[in-house]
Structure 1
Amino acid sequence: MLHILFLFALVLAPASHAADFCVAKLKGAGGVAGYACRDPAKVTAADFVFKGIVTSGNTTNIINAAVTPVFVQQFPALNGLGLSTARLDLAPGGVIPLHTHPAANEILVVTSGVIKAGFITSSSNKVYIATVTKGQVMVFPQGLLHFQLNAGKTAASAVVTFNSPEPGLQILDFALFANDFPTELVSGTTFLDSAIVKKLKGVLGGTN
């Protein structure tokens, strides 16, 4: 009888557990552990809905493509949940250049059009390339160089999901040619002719 009463006491005792969510207070400083939490009493259902990817992004740019991020900075409800998403829009000829996400794996779901995508392994430099159509899914392992390009004659779009609220991003072309990385060093470390390096710097806004 005492055992039964003890079990009832455990069941009826007030639960003590971590909060269910931590909607970010973005005005404070963020870090590896995330942002400070807003007061749960002031959080509403609207805080858990993001409408910023309803419409396509602006693809009138040098890559004929747009990425609309839905990271913790845009969607504070993601804070501490270990995930984020983004919308990709690629006009005909559009490309998301070779890039990496150092902090996350990525899953791509094509929502319209035809997208050719691929990644390069770090162990053997083997290349995996696939043509992905509406409703199909492709995965890109964390930290590997990968790309997406429009392989059709009409606009293409996709939704990508990451297992981090801040996956990080480094675009190879921009890292090499869109800054003040000296031309002679870029040429010397990539085996590209300096004239080509200067031309690419001119296109992407780099100097030096």
Structure 2
Amino acid sequence: MKFSMRGGHFHATCTFFALASLLASGDDFTPQVDFCVAINNPNGNGAYFSNGELCKNAEAAKAEDFYFSGLDATRETDNRVGSTITLLSTNQIPGLDGLSLARTDYAPNGGLNPPHIHPHATEILTLLRGILHVGFITSSPENRLITKTLHPGDVFVFPIGLIHYQLNTANNSALAINSFSSKNPGVITIANAIFGSHPPHNREILAKAFQLNTDTINFLQQRFKGNQ
């Protein structure tokens, strides 16, 4: 195969497409304003639209729009998986843009943030207390499991869109801070999505996909019914 472009034009074209690809790969658009304080309605006060949000007039912004208090409070983890996630997005901090934050509390000896994905964001986890066994699975056909044991002060990255989990293996409770590269990371918990969907998935499809009988699928659907 021969290229008709001359060297200079070819390299310029490659540079252009590389730059375009880099810009397109961002999780959220680069802001065109200093900040966006999200609001639900314009109220006729100079509101404008930016990066997927309706924003109030910047002159009306106040410190409370960029503030949240109470993330230090311990959350209850007495539930079926033994973990509770407190997400801070624009619903809690209207001035938050381009990223989001969460606190995750884990029960002792097995508190689990079950396998899930964030379709819109890479996650950075910082462990503050406890011992976490963490892992993520690469995409097909490799489906490689990458795992690590974390101790307080350790940081671990979960790439965007990949299935991942965290399990507390310590005798005491665990605490982590999770940072996301999008103001709307999204979350799909695998078991809930598959066995707790509304309306339910066809049992024969799931039985064949998981190589289980339909009675087992029925049990799992009843088990996860109502979970989000």
Common fold, TM-score beyond 0.5?
Answer: yes
SS of the equivalent of 2:54 reads: coil
C-alpha displacement of 1:206: 5.8
Aligned to 2:144: 126
Shift of the 120–203 alpha-carbon distance from structure 1 to 2, 3 Å rule, reads same
Q: Is the 8 A contact 1:83 1:164 kept in 2?
A: yes
Structure 2 distance, partners of 1:205, 1:128, is 31
Aligned to 2:224: 204
1:1-208 alignment, distance < 5 Å: 18-27=32-41, 33-79=51-97, 82-92=98-108, 93-123=110-140, 124-179=142-197, 180-205=200-225
Measured in 2, the distance between the counterparts of 1:175 and 1:164 equals 22
Kept in 2, the 8 Å contact 1:120–1:128? The answer is yes
CA RMSD of aligned residues (A): 2.0
Could you tell me whether the CA contact under 8 Å between 1:26 and 1:73 is conserved in 2?
Answer: no
Q: Distance in 1 between matches of 2:78 and 2:117?
A: 23
Alpha-carbon spacing, 1:48–1:120, altered in 2? closer, same or farther (3 Å): same
Q: Percent identical across equivalent pairs?
A: 37
Aligned length: 186
Secondary structure at the aligned position of 2:95 is classed as helix
TM-score (norm. length: structure 1) = 0.83
Please give the alpha-carbon distance, in whole angstroms, between the structure 1 residues aligned to 2:35 and 2:222: 46
Three-state SS of the structure 2 residue aligned to 1:201 is helix
* Matched letter for residue 225 of structure 2: G
Q: Provide closer, same or farther for how the CA distance between residues 168 and 155 of structure 1 changes in structure 2, counting only shifts above 3 A.
A: same
| Cα distance change on mapping 1:206 and 1:197 into 2, 3 Å | farther
SS at match of 2:218: helix
- Maintained 8 Å contact 2:135/2:148: yes
Structure 1 unmatched runs, 5+: 1-17
- Over 3 Å counting, the alpha-carbon distance change for 1:58 and 1:48 in structure 2 is same
Q: Secondary structure at 2:55's aligned position in 1? A: coil
Q: CA deviation at 1:27?
A: 4.5
Structure 2: distance between partners of 1:134 and 1:66: 19
CA distance in 1, matches of 2:149, 2:50: 35
Q: Report SS of the residue matched to 1:186.
A: helix
Q: Which residue of structure 2 lines up, in the alignment, with residue 14 of structure 1?
A: none
Give the match's secondary structure for 1:59.
coil
| Structure 1 residues 32 and 39, CA gap change in structure 2 (3 angstroms) | closer
**Bigger shift: residues 19-28 or 141-150:** 19-28
Alpha-carbon offset, residue 94 of structure 1 = 1.3
Contact map agreement 2:121 2:182 (CA 8 A) in 1: yes
Secondary structure of residue in 1 paired with 2:39: coil
Question: 1:103 corresponds to which letter in structure 2?
Answer: H
Amino acid at match of 2:188: Q
Report the alpha carbon displacement of residue 108 of structure 1 after superposing the two structures with TM: 0.3
The alignment's TM-score, normalised by the length of structure 2, stands at: 0.76
Cα distance 1:190–1:32, how it changes in 2: closer, same or farther (>3 A)?
farther
